[in-house]
Structure 1
Amino acid sequence: MGGIVDFDVRLPSARADIHTMHTESGVALAELARITHVTSFPVLADDESAWQLAVTAARQVLERTGVAADRISQVVFAGSGEWDRPFWSPAAKVADALGIRDAHCYEVANFCNAGMAAIRLLSVPGALKPGEYALVLVGDRLSRMVDYRDPDSKALFNFGDAAAAVLLESGAGRFRVLHSAMRTDGSWSDYYAGEPVGGRVLIRRGPHRRGLADAYVRHFTALVAESLTALGRRVPEIDHFLVNHGDRDMHLRLLSALGVPEERSVLNYHRLAHMGGSDTLIALRDLEDAGRLRPGDLIMLATSAMGFSWGVTTLEFQG
């Protein structure tokens, strides 16, 4: 399989605040704090777009690696499908802004699992020829789709915004993609859905249903087992297990169920909320910046998404 050459993550300039959420929703501050884990977190400002953040991240990656625009054969924008404009290609827009002229540009919609789904598609043998590169952009506008006036949507009040750019090659890169395992439980497909309201699309929850937390643990543990079996590895050999930043209690419950020590994960709940599909990339960047990665480290990125889909992407750090 292919590998990640480099990646970058960008955060927007505005912030969501639980005091505003409390005023608009009537939900108690203490309850909101249990959902968001922080009093404020990054969201898109009125004059910011997800595709523009993605361009900034991609430009940094290309400058840092020295990869020329004409060597990029595919540009993929990954997210929910609710882009900055309707019936529009953010992948094509980003490619044009970066001077990438001859690439195939398209979108992958799988919500917060979309970035890893795109990496899966592009890292299989034959997806890229030797010397070719692919650019995966991860970006959404989740905060724009949350209605703080709706207390029934409070579970989504921790939705922030971020964008990431991931450069892939057919070789190992700095992070070789060893394995990808993904699955969807369609019985949850209608639990959340968008509703057009006043020129916006707002996410609404359907009737409350128990069991989603159990589904998270069940599907993630099954995917981890599938990946380890395919690789001939065991849980103690997982050096870093990074999880979508949705709920701290669920994060810890999953680590406990798997038998992965907390110190082998990254918990950013003291400074960030759920930053969409960029969560695990933010955690991976934190590990690298802190000098916690060693050549040969086995890294698992556990991502989940509305629909509901789950994925485990296994990387090996090359140094």
Structure 2
Amino acid sequence: MSTPAAVLTGLGAYVPPRVVTNDELSRRMDTSDAWIVRRTGIRQRHWAEPGVATSDLAVEAGHRALKSAGAEGSDGSDGIGLVVVATTTPDQQCPAVAPDVAARLGLGTVAALDVGAGCTGFVYALATASAALVAGYAERALVIGAETFRPFLNPADRGTAVIFGDGAGAVTLRRGTTDEAGAVLTVDLGSDGTLKDLVGIPGNGSRHRSTGRPPHPDEQYLFMHGKEVFVQAVRRMAQSSTTALAQVGWSVDEVDHVVGHQANLRILHAVAGELGLPEERLVRHVDRVGNTSAASIPLALADATERGRLRPGDRLLLTAFGAGLAWGSAALTWPGITLA
């Protein structure tokens, strides 16, 4: 029996044109192409030019998703009633990115909000929009994951500077039913704030401002305790994936593709091992764009679509892990989507 569900109708992706190779980074810091590839699987990433902010990437990806869905209209009458932007790198601390993005896309005075859940942001944003559609608060929604991490990377820290890239990915959703191709069937979410100090950007928040002490320059950059994050990421993504599969009654063998957060190729392979999943079912995009945080899953979906890997009716498992700590997974069927 079918029940109300959010259904994917469009997909868009955008990465800045500037490509930064491992060889380029090795000329700036103590690293090498071989070291980066061995540790992360990343060969290049895209960085936004100075003056380009997260909202700029989000608008481009959102425009392409709307065009993909055939929903774009100059007067905002396309029916989008909600915009959710997942990001850890907003243009400014206040206001949120989403209202600006909605306005620049010509969507008028729709509901718009940001979701901050680190690299798990897209899954959280997908859950937020799906719940709103199922509850009847909107008929259509636009969900965007967008990041410009370059300004937050310490150029002297090879543990982070070689990993992260900039980009944005977006999907459009409409209110539908679970028996339709494209239906989001379940979402599992979790967090553990006791481990918040494993990854983050501590400077310029209310904690520092309340002390009256200016943040140390290093505190304005992203930090990450890589080994501990690796262990937690594999554990939480595997557990959340198992929970999501149980909720929809799928076995691992019935999953056609796993689209994990593209943080690190070793993490993706380890999660596949924990699930007993053949590695060929993993969607991998991290080698070409790096870790794009909240943008990584929709970017990977767009890449797999462009390569003809995803077919209507395929069963997909999305799973992510990031700062917070936060994690989440979603199970859905794939619709027939044409990229704009």
- TM-score for both structures, normalised by structure 1: 0.88
Residue 172 of structure 2: aligned partner: 167
Assess, with a 3 A threshold, how the Cα gap between structure 1 residues 78 and 269 changes in structure 2: closer, same or farther.
Answer: closer
The percentage of counterpart residues that share the same residue type is 24
Q: Distance in 2 between matches of 1:126 and 1:192?
A: 32
CA separation of 1:66 and 1:310: change in aligned 2, threshold 3 A = same
1:276 aligns with 2:284: no
- Structure-1 separation of matches of 2:138 and 2:41: 44
Is the Cα–Cα contact under 8 Å of residues 160 and 223 in structure 2 kept in the other structure? no
Corresponding residue for residue 11 of structure 1 = 15
Q: 1:122 to 1:40 in 2, by over 3 A?
A: closer
In the aligned structure 2, how far is the partner of 1:199 from the partner of 1:262? 38
* CA displacement, residues 59-83 of structure 1 (integer Å, 9 cap, x when unaligned): 2222333324232211121111x31
Alignment of 1:62-211 (within 5 A): 62-67=66-71, 68=73, 69-70=76-77, 71-80=79-88, 82-124=89-131, 127=134, 129=136, 132-151=139-158, 154-172=159-177, 175-194=182-201, 195=203, 196=215, 201-205=220-224, 211=228
Structure 1 portions without partners, runs of 5+: none
Indicate the SS of the match to 2:145.
Answer: strand
Q: Is the 8 A contact 2:10 2:65 kept in 1?
A: yes
Alpha carbons of 1:257 and 1:108: their partners in 2 closer, same or farther (altered >3 Å)? same
Paired position in structure 2 for 1:43: 47
CA contact (8 A) 1:158 1:274 kept: yes
C-alpha distance in 2 between matches for 1:210 and 1:55: 35
The 10-residue stretch of structure 1 (275-284 or 121-130) with the greater mean CA deviation from structure 2? 121-130
Give 1:99's aligned amino acid: G
CA distance in 2, matches of 1:104, 1:12: 27
Q: Alpha-carbon deviations, 1:115-142, whole Å to 9, x = none? A: 2111101212755639721111211111
Cα deviation, residue 20, structure 1:
4.6
* 1: CA distance, partners of 2:175 / 2:236: 29
One-letter code of the match for 2:173?
A: L
Residues 226 and 164 (structure 1), Cα distance of their counterparts in 2 relative to 1, 3 Å cut: same
8 A Cα contact 2:20 2:44, kept in partner: yes
The TM-score, its normalising length taken from structure 2, stands at: 0.83
Q: How far 1:291 sits from its partner (Å)? A: 2.8
Structure 1 residues 248 and 215: CA distance shift in structure 2, 3 A: same
The CA deviation at 1:169 is: 1.0
8 Å Cα contact 2:198-2:229 kept in structure 1: no
Q: CA deviation at 1:226?
A: 1.3
Q: Which moved more, 1:184-193 or 1:166-175?
A: 166-175
Is 2:123–2:319's contact at 8 Å kept on the other side of the alignment? Answer: no
Unpaired segments of 5 or more residues in structure 2?
204-214
